[in-house]
Amino acid sequence: MAVVDSQGRLFGKVSLLDLGAGLVILLVLVGIFVFPGASGSVAQIGSTTKPVEVEVVIRVAAQNVEGLLKPGEKTSIVIRNQPYGEVKIKSVKPLEDNVYIPMPDGKAISVPDPRPEIGLSKNLLVTLEGNAQITKNGPVLGNNKIKIGTPIELEGFNYNFSNLNVRDIRILEKKG
């Protein structure tokens, strides 16, 4: 009796193709369970945790913004579409909508924008504070690097501000 017959079966029982496919599946399973790869966050390796301040500019399409964001309260933050958790609102500063008017002497003056539609929205400069892991590549909140320009979203009980970008980030030294 031949080891491989004319139909490609080993000892007339098992197809060589089936045996090869089974061997590949077995090697994949061994690779997944025996060598699962790097586990844990890269941010946790060789990093320290420090307080950070993150600034964002919010354009609110509402007239009454005084009760929305209050310093000292917490807000949920989403970084690059990944929920991070809660951070503290450090400050909320309304920003003026100004226009520049050129003067005959060549200078320009800044005056509040007189257009009526400006009253339909407000701009706020919001400073958030939380703890971030500081790595060689910069601060990391959760498992997300946070840098100037990073897309974030703020969510609270009665608001959801999306399409925001980090305007500034400051790494603070721990008090103590």
**Tens of pLDDT along 140-168?**
887 888 899 999 999 988 888 888 899 99
pLDDT at 41: 52
Residue 119's pLDDT band, with cuts at 50, 70 and 90, is confident
Asked if residue 107 and residue 78 are part of one domain, the reply reads yes
| Residue 142 in domain | yes
pLDDT at 39: 54
Residues 49, 148: Cα–Cα separation, whole Å? 19
More reliable by pLDDT, 7 or 28: 28
**Tens of pLDDT along 61-96?**
766 777 788 899 999 999 888 888 899 999 999 888
**Tens of pLDDT along 39-63?**
555 445 566 888 999 999 988 776 6
| Residue 2 in domain | yes
Which positions ≥6 away from 175 have C-beta within 8 Å? none
Mean pLDDT of 14-41: 81
| Residue 108 in domain | yes
Asked if residue 28 and residue 53 are part of one domain, the reply reads no
Asked if residue 166 and residue 100 are part of one domain, the reply reads yes
Asked if residue 67 and residue 141 are part of one domain, the reply reads yes
Asked if residue 71 and residue 31 are part of one domain, the reply reads no
Asked if residue 31 and residue 93 are part of one domain, the reply reads no
Asked if residue 70 and residue 98 are part of one domain, the reply reads yes
Asked if residue 92 and residue 25 are part of one domain, the reply reads no
| Residue 164 in domain | yes
| Residue 146 in domain | yes
Assess whether pLDDT exceeds 90 at residue 113: no
Asked if residue 6 and residue 60 are part of one domain, the reply reads no
Q: What range does the domain containing 138 cover?
A: 42-171
Asked if residue 47 and residue 105 are part of one domain, the reply reads yes
